[in-house]
Structure 1
Amino acid sequence: MVALCDLAETTTTDAIDSFLETRLVVSQLSDESLFLSQIQVIVESFQADTQTAFGREIDVIDVLKQGNLLVSSLGTSNYFTAFYDYYYRDFPVYSTSEQFLDQNDAWENCQVSSKGTNLVAATDTQNIAHWIPGWRFGCYIDEALFASTLECYYNITCLSLLRNVYSLPLEVQVLKVTNDSRFAVDTTIGTIVRQLFIEDLAATFNFTGYFMACLPSQCIYTIVERRSIITVITTVVGLLGGLTKAIDLVVPRAVRFIRRHGHKWKRIIKVKPKINTNTTVTC
């Protein structure tokens, strides 16, 4: 379990380092509330993706282990028997798969599936068997660990039994139940491992740094509002006053200009009288 914890820590650290190298690309500058909500979604997606990638690594190990029919060195997945063959005068060795109960209390053969596990019993000094709450054993030690829980470590009686049975020299402190943890007492170790042993992923957001990095050269905004009747009247009066002022400035100048230069456009019409001459000749 310590090795799994170290592996989860390394995976998380590498994922965070890679995440910090990514850039946030947006089409326009976001306000603080929108920025915080976007970053929160990104962080949650990052955590889910990291957990999924770590879980796939565990699944690959399971597939390789099951596909190659690996035999546990503890003898929990298979047991071997040898019988003397009088015909061949040999001792052939036969491998038989162990069987364990699955989640539906149905027997599973380790050759078919390695998910089956059974409860663990410990015998005290008086040869009395006691079930250890939360402890399981199965085809492989990792599968048994993932199916187990930490319930025993919350119980002083259970820890005392373990110390007596296994002669543990170290003093193990009893875990305290707290509401701050998102993992319940009966949460399987497999669930905790796949969630990278993380209680909460804290992230700090720096909106000021984001704003300064994306500082715009100019800001344009539009205010849409409905004009009041007083504003409309004031605007019309202002337009009329401006028009009157323009007329006062333009019309006098136009009249003076016309008077000064109007004669240039006058036509001078000369009337030539028509004389009728009647000549009478008398012979």
Structure 2
Amino acid sequence: MHATSPVEYRTHRIKKTFTIIGLIIFILSLAFPAYLIKVSVTNPINTIVKTNVTENHSQTAHVATPSLTTYSQLQTSYPETVHCSCTQTSISYSSFLGIRHKLHEICSSEFISQEWISYLSSNQFPVLSNDFRAISPMLFKALRSLCEVSQQMVHHNIMQFLSNEYVSTSVTPANLFHVQIQTRLDQLRSAMSESFSLTFSMIRETIQANALFSGLGTNFQLSVENNNVSTVPLLYNGCSCALSSKCITPAAIYNSTNSEILFVVPGFYKGCYVMESLLQSDLRCFYNQTCLDKLSSYYSLPTKFHVLNEANLNMFSINSTIADLLRRLMIEEQEMILSYENYYNRCSPSACSYSFQEPYMYEKVEIVRAETHLAHLIGTVIGIIGGTIAILHILMSTLIKLMI
């Protein structure tokens, strides 16, 4: 057996001593973490965390007796929340609205004037009963009547509409206000047209249902045979006036001697009734100077009349029938004169309120529960133990080397 040398014995003793010392230090180093874990388990403590948080806070402001300029600014800046209560909730339309209308040019032309009708009536030559010259005075008298009825009805309905009241408990924004008024005017035009069409249709159907005689004898003729009087319906292009009041044929000027057609009047018709013929006619000839001069040449007076101006047409065309014109009550143009300022002044809001978002900073307090704190503590202890072992390993190795 090999004998242990003094050096080896001394080295062995040093290593053993430092191992015991390191073990003691390691055990002592565990005492403090163990104590912390014990305290955390037996006396759990929630941790309070405080942070500063900024949020938007809704605020409401009020403006007394705002002017229109102030309201417009508020409406631009706070369109969703501004509210202004009206002191006057019912406001007459006439206080802020004006309506101008213009009928078709024929209604202001010389072609429905007494001068023109007298010119048509003063023909000095014998004409056939179906000649345009025989029925033209009645055609233009009927056209003048339609213009007058349209003008009266439109004027009456507009005055009635303007006498009504616009009701709003709060100020209506300008853009919405314009849309509302325009919509109500459109409804007014539609109601006027429907009312007129219904009344006019009832009159026409009543005349047809009762088979009333035309004053010009254009729908029925009387026939006397064996002292018996009977009526014979006239035909227009194969259409019998006994079956329909709308039978028509193109209007023409004839040679009174041999019934030869001299001139077919463009756009005009003759038929069972003057009114029914007129409704299906149009005014194209009166937009053409050549046509008008040709027509005038078959009348006895050489009076010069001027054609209608096509540039004045807006809603209609030169081929629009008189029935087309009547569906819109002959309204060619209608202008809305709207004053939002007058409406606002009549509404006269006493105050406006609006809401806005304002930054608001406050301290937010959060509580971290003990379970979360304990888990963090255990992780820390494990880290301490690992670090202690590493330090002791390095320290012991170094000291042993120095002392050997």
Same fold (TM over 0.5): yes
Residue matched to 2:330: 197
Superposed counterparts of 1:28-47, under 5 Å: 28-47=170-189
Shift of 1:197: 2.0
Q: 1:118 aligns with which of 243, 246, 249?
A: 249
Residue matched to 2:230: 94
Decide whether the 8 Å contact of 1:114 with 1:139 is kept in 2: yes
Q: Give the 3-state SS of the residue equivalent to 2:253 in structure 1.
A: strand
Decide whether the 8 Å contact of 1:154 with 1:175 is kept in 2: yes
Q: Give the 3-state SS of the residue equivalent to 2:167 in structure 1.
A: coil
Shift of 1:27: 4.5
Superposed counterparts of 1:59-208, under 5 Å: 59-84=201-226, 91-101=227-237, 107-123=238-254, 128-178=261-311, 180-208=313-341
Q: Give the ranges of 4+ consecutive aligned residues of structure 1 lying more than 6 Å apart after TM superposition.
A: none
Decide whether the 8 Å contact of 1:125 with 1:165 is kept in 2: no
Query: Structure 1, unaligned stretches of length 5 or more?
Result: 85-90, 102-106, 241-283
Shift of 1:169: 4.3
Q: Distance in 1 between matches of 2:212 and 2:157?
A: 31
Q: Distance in 1 between matches of 2:217 and 2:255?
A: 23
Deviations 1:250-275 (A, max 9, x none): xxxxxxxxxxxxxxxxxxxxxxxxxx
Decide whether the 8 Å contact of 2:252 with 2:263 is kept in 1: yes
Deviations 1:150-186 (A, max 9, x none): 0111222321222122324432212232275221111
Residue matched to 1:16: 158
Residue matched to 2:193: 51
Q: Give the 3-state SS of the residue equivalent to 1:208 in structure 2.
A: helix
What amino acid is aligned across from residue 117 of structure 1 in structure 2? I
Shift in CA distance, 110/125, structure 1 to aligned 2, threshold 3 Å: closer
Q: Give the 3-state SS of the residue equivalent to 1:162 in structure 2.
A: helix
Superposed counterparts of 1:203-218, under 5 Å: 203-218=336-351
Shift in CA distance, 80/180, structure 1 to aligned 2, threshold 3 Å: closer
Decide whether the 8 Å contact of 2:213 with 2:219 is kept in 1: yes
What amino acid is aligned across from residue 248 of structure 2 in structure 1? T
Decide whether the 8 Å contact of 2:284 with 2:318 is kept in 1: yes
Q: Give the 3-state SS of the residue equivalent to 2:165 in structure 1.
A: coil
Q: Distance in 1 between matches of 2:256 and 2:295?
A: 11
TM-score (norm 2): 0.51
Q: Distance in 1 between matches of 2:190 and 2:172?
A: 25
Shift of 1:11: 1.1
Moved more, 141-150 or 184-193: 184-193
Number of equivalenced pairs: 221
| Greater Cα radius of gyration, structure 1 or 2 | 2
Query: Structure 2, unaligned stretches of length 5 or more?
Result: 1-142, 366-404
What amino acid is aligned across from residue 196 of structure 2 in structure 1? F
More strand by share: 2
Q: Distance in 2 between matches of 1:20 and 1:179?
A: 27
Are positions 1:4 and 2:146 aligned together?
yes
More helix by share: 2
Percentage of identical aligned residues:
29
Shift of 1:25: 1.6
Shift of 1:139: 0.7
Moved more, 22-31 or 172-181: 172-181
Q: Distance in 2 between matches of 1:125 and 1:80?
A: 22
Q: Give the 3-state SS of the residue equivalent to 1:9 in structure 2.
A: helix
Shift in CA distance, 174/164, structure 1 to aligned 2, threshold 3 Å: same
Q: Distance in 1 between matches of 2:163 and 2:308?
A: 38
RMSD between superposed Cα atoms in Å = 2.4
Shift in CA distance, 92/7, structure 1 to aligned 2, threshold 3 Å: same
Q: Give the 3-state SS of the residue equivalent to 1:58 in structure 2.
A: helix
Shift of 1:114: 0.7
Are positions 1:236 and 2:362 aligned together?
yes
Deviations 1:48-101 (A, max 9, x none): 1112212222112102211211010211111122222xxxxxx11121112335
Deviations 1:174-214 (A, max 9, x none): 22322752211110012213322211111111111111222
Shift in CA distance, 170/194, structure 1 to aligned 2, threshold 3 Å: farther
Shift in CA distance, 171/193, structure 1 to aligned 2, threshold 3 Å: farther
